[in-house]
Each structure stands twice: as C-alpha cells, then as structure tokens.
C-alpha cells in the first residue's frame, strides 16, 4: 500500500502535474463564486460563506498546527471552517452530516491504516467525487502508491514535518480551486442534462400530438370518403324514387322512405357539425374560456332538445337533480359534450328504455354520468372508444347511424377543460359515460 522514499519526489511531481493539467482544463469553465452552486444537486451544495475542511488525525499537535496556520486563511472572500476529529468513526459521522466538505486532511496510517478505508468509504460508499483529499503521513517512506492516488483521486500527501504555513497554504488553495472547478463543471453538466431531458420530453409530446393529429385527419378523410358519400348517395336515391314514380308508391312505403331519409339527414347534419368543430379545434380557432357554470341547468337545457327523439322510442329521459353544483369550464365545449353523449344514449337505447343523467361532487371535481339501459358495448369495442386512429361506429336500435367522430371531440373538449372522460358498459346491459370537470371553488 505504501512505497519507498526514493519515489516520493517523482510522485509529488506526478500529483502536482495532474492537478495543474486539470486546473488548466477547467479555467474556461469556472464561473463567479456567487453563482457557483446555485444549480448543483442538493447532495453536493456548499455553504457560500465558508470553506469546510475536515481534519482527521489522532495527534492533537497536528490539529493545533493546522488551526494556527489556517486561522486567517480566506479564499475568494470565504473563510475556512475547520472540523476536527481524532477518529475515523467520528469522521464518518461528521461527513454524513456535512455533505459540503470541500477538503479532508487525513492521517492514513492512524488506527492500523483506517485512513485508507475511510478514503474508500468516501469515494465508493458515499460516492462523493467532489471532496478533495490530502494524506498526512509520518515518514516519507509511508507515501501512498500511485494506484491508491489514482483510484481514490488523492490531491496530495504531506509528512507531518511538511505541514508548514506556506506549504499548507499552497496545497489547500490548490485543492479548493479544484473542488470549486469540479462543482462548476457539475453545475454545467447538470444544467445541460436538464435541458436535454426537458427538450426530449417536448419532442416526445410534439411527436405524440402530431401522431394523434394525423390519425384524426386520416379518420376524417375516411369518414368523408365513405360514410358521408354513402349517406348523400342514399339521400339522393330516396329523392329520385319519390320524384320519378310518386304515383306507384303507397303511403306506408313513402313514410318508410322518408324515415330513412330523415336518418340520413340527421346523420349528415351531426357529422358536418362535428367536422366543423374538429376543424376549428385543429386550427386553434376554438379557445377554452372557462367560466362558472351551473351544470344541472346546462344539462336540463340540453335534455329538452332530445325529448322529441326520445319520445319517438318511448324513452324516459331524466335528470337526477342535486344541489346547485357549479363547474369552471368552457360552456360551449360542455354543451357539445352533453349533446353528443345524450344523442348517443338515445340512439343506442331500445324502445321503452330509460336514460338517467346525474352529477355529483368528487373531491375537486364534478362528475357527470349519462346512464342508459341500451344495448351496451362489447369488450372488444370498448377498447376502440375515444381513439382517433380507429374508425369505429355502429348503428342504433332504430338503425340510426353515426360517424364515431363525436366521442373524439368529447375527449378533446373534456381534456382541454382539465377533466377526464371514460365509459363503463356491458353488452346487453346498457352503458354509463362519465366525465369530470373541475368544480368552481
């Protein structure tokens, strides 16, 4: 572990050259001391008004000499604070409580070479790479080997006879400069790493948004190319039949044809309305403007719009009223969500069914539920809900048709208002669509 005196001069030169080369490399990276540690991990922050130096030696005279020599030492307008201990055990305790120690002077041969183990504890167990270390030895023949110097990043070593004021001043200032420079580099590295992480997250978010936008765009084109064209074709066929052979069609057939035409017209109107909403949303023409809204009043107003279509299927449409619950949300967006969800509930509920809408407090949110006794949704189809990259739609109980775009709009609008939307359903047992919106505090 220790080597002969004949190598001491060479090893000292080796250490000083290593330190000087290191300092030259750091010169361009050092910053003003007042800003040095502001961005470093709290694990290695330092007190800006002092430099902490720990002295570990079982010889009281060494402590006394160092205290005397360093009592007036100041570096970059900071005083030196000495922490003294006579044992390695106590040194570990001090180091654990003071993670901003800049320099440790340690007698490596005390207590059967416990100093070497303490150095290993600092570098490997605590993983402290910043604190600088200077070995104190009794005789030149006890100088540490090069592998110890390199492995544990030892800045220098001095015999007790060499602990004079001038030599202490030089070696300590060199160590403090190294410590300061390493913190500066760590701060620089940490900032760069944070910026990289932040930028990576931004790029991942932008990538996800772009993928969702492209998926929704593809879905829209699919709807325009297939569903809208098909329904307009059906509508045209119905009109052609009525105009070309009106005298050959009885009243019942006419009513059936007109009913089909009405379904197509309702579908086209709903689809175009959702497409316009979606287009404005993508162009950011629709801004989320939260206001205080009494949610049950808004629900009642929208229920009235669907009473005629609900009556056609003898569906009971009701609101379970609760005490004036108020939300903080964009009114037009919530109206669009309610209309889509209530329309779907009517569409997929059998004759003589029931649709119940209720709202209730849930922590800092108001939860709105649209519960129907309709046909329900299969497990496979549940996985497709609210996904813009999947074109998914089914016919209602009276053969009503939809585009599937409405639920995508609902999801966008609810999330823009700081809420969530989801569905619970079992095939043949009805569905419950729920969404949350921040309540008005």
185's tokens: 């580099």
Indicate whether 22 and 135 sit together in one domain: yes
d(CA 106, CA 57): 6
d(CA 264, CA 195): 54
Tell me if 112 sits within 8 A of 2, measured CB to CB.
Answer: no
Q: pLDDT digits over 140-199, tens only?
A: 888 888 888 888 888 888 888 888 888 888 888 999 999 999 989 988 999 999 999 999
Residues 153, 156, 160, 165, CA torsion sign:
negative
| Mean pLDDT lowest among 34-38, 184-188, 344-348 | 34-38
Q: What are phi and psi of 132, to 5 degrees?
A: -90, 150
Quick check: is 244 in a domain?
Answer: no
Task: Say which residue the tokens 């709202």 belong to.
Answer: 359
Domain tally, the chain: 2
Indicate whether 35 and 131 sit together in one domain: yes
pLDDT higher for 22 or 291? Answer: 291
Indicate whether 37 and 175 sit together in one domain: yes
Q: In 223-292, where does DSSP find H-type helix?
A: 229-244, 251-282
Quick check: is 162 in a domain?
Answer: yes
Q: Whole domain around residue 162: which residue ranges?
A: 5-199
Tell me if 136 sits within 8 A of 54, measured CB to CB.
Answer: no
- CATH number for the domain harbouring residue 115: 3.40.50.2300
Tell me if 317 sits within 8 A of 306, measured CB to CB.
Answer: yes
Mean pLDDT computed over every residue of the chain: 80
Indicate whether 311 and 171 sit together in one domain: no
Indicate whether 189 and 297 sit together in one domain: no
Q: Which of 180, 199, 218 is the last residue of a domain?
A: 199
Indicate whether 132 and 35 sit together in one domain: yes
Quick check: is 170 in a domain?
Answer: yes
Q: Which of 137, 165, 199 is the last residue of a domain?
A: 199
Q: pLDDT digits over 353-379, tens only?
A: 999 999 999 989 999 999 999 988 888
Q: Which of 134, 167, 199 is the last residue of a domain?
A: 199
């Amino acid at each position: 572990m220790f080597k002969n005196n004949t190598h001491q001069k060479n090893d000292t030169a080796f250490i000083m050259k290593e330190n000087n080369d290191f300092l030259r490399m750091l010169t361009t990276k050092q910053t003003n001391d007042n800003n040095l540690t502001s961005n470093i991990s709290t694990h290695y922050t330092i007190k800006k008004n002092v430099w902490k130096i720990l002295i570990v030696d079982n010889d009281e005279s060494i402590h006394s000499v160092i205290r005397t020599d360093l009592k007036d030492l100041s570096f970059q307008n900071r005083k030196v604070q000495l922490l003294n201990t006579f044992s390695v055990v106590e040194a570990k305790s001090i180091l654990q409580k003071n993670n901003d120690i800049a320099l440790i002077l340690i007698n490596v041969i005390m207590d059967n070479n416990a100093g070497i183990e303490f150095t290993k504890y600092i570098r490997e167990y605590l993983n402290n790479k910043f604190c600088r270390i200077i070995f104190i030895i009794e005789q030149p023949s006890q100088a540490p080997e090069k592998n110890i110097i390199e492995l544990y990043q030892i800045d220098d070593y001095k015999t007790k006879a060499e602990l004079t004021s001038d030599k202490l001043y030089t070696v300590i200032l060199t160590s403090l400069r190294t410590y300061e420079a390493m913190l500066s580099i760590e701060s620089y590295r940490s900032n760069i790493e944070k910026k990289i992480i932040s930028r990576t997250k931004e790029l991942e978010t932008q990538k996800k948004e772009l993928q969702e936008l492209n998926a929704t765009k593809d879905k829209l084109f699919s709807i325009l190319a297939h569903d809208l064209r098909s329904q307009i074709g059906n509508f045209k066929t119905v009109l052609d039949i009525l105009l070309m052979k009106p005298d050959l069609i009885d009243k019942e057939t006419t009513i059936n044809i007109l009913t089909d035409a009405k379904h197509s017209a309702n579908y086209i109107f709903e689809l175009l309305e959702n497409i316009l909403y979606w287009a404005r949303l993508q162009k950011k023409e629709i801004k989320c403007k939260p206001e205080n809204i009494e949610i049950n009043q808004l629900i009642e107003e929208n229920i009235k719009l669907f009473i005629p279509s609900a009556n056609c299927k003898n569906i009971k449409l009701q609101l379970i009223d609760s005490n004036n619950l108020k939300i903080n949300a964009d009114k037009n967006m919530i109206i669009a969500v309610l209309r889509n969800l209530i329309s779907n509930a009517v569409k997929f509920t059998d004759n003589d069914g029931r649709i119940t809408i209720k709202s209730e407090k849930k922590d800092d949110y108001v939860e709105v539920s649209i519960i129907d006794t309709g046909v329900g949704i299969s497990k496979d189809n549940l996985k497709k809900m609210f996904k813009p990259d999947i074109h998914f739609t089914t016919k209602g109980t009276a053969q009503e048709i939809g585009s599937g775009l409405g639920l995508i709009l609902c999801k966008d609008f609810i999330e823009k208002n700081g809420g969530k939307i989801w569905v619970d359903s079992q095939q043949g047992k009805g569905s419950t669509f729920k969404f949350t919106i921040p309540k008005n505090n």
